[in-house]
Amino acid sequence: MYREARLATRRRLLEVGAGEGSVAAEMAARTGRTVIALDLQEASVASAEVRALRGDAVHLPFREGSFDALAFHFVLLWLRDPLRALKEARRILRPGGALLLLAEPDLAGREDSPDTGLGQALEGAVRRAGGHPDAGSRMEGWLNSAGFRPRLRVTPPEWLVLSDPRETLAEVEALRRSGILDEEEARLLAAREEEAFRSGVRRVRLPLTYGWAE
- CATH code (residue 192): 3.40.50.150
Q: For position 131, what pLDDT does the model report?
A: 96
Residue 68 lies in a domain: yes
Residue 133 lies in a domain: yes
Q: For position 48, what pLDDT does the model report?
A: 84
Q: For position 43, what pLDDT does the model report?
A: 72
Q: Phi, psi (5° rounding) for residue 30?
A: -75, -25
**DSSP code for 155:** -
- Give residue 91's domain range: 7-213
The amino acid present at 13, given as its one-letter code, is L
Residue 1 lies in a domain: no
Do 206 and 160 contact (CB within 8 A), yes or no? yes
Residue 83 lies in a domain: yes
Q: For position 178, what pLDDT does the model report?
A: 83
Q: For position 41, what pLDDT does the model report?
A: 87
Residue 104 lies in a domain: yes
Residue 188 lies in a domain: yes
Residue 2 lies in a domain: no
| Secondary structure (H, E, C), 48-89 | CCEEEEECECCECCCCCCCEEEEEECCCHHHCCCHHHHHHHH
The dihedral through the CA atoms of 89, 3, 17, 38 has a sign that is negative
Count of the separate structural domains present in the chain: 1
Q: For position 5, what pLDDT does the model report?
A: 87
Helix (H) or strand (E) segment spanning residue 194: helix 183-199
pLDDT digits (tens, 9 = 90+) for 120-142: 999 999 999 999 999 999 999 99
Residue 48's CB is within 10 A of a number of other CB atoms, namely 9
Cα gap 93→86, rounded to integer Å: 11
Residue 76 lies in a domain: yes
Cα gap 105→137, rounded to integer Å: 8
Stretches where the chain sits below pLDDT 50 are: none
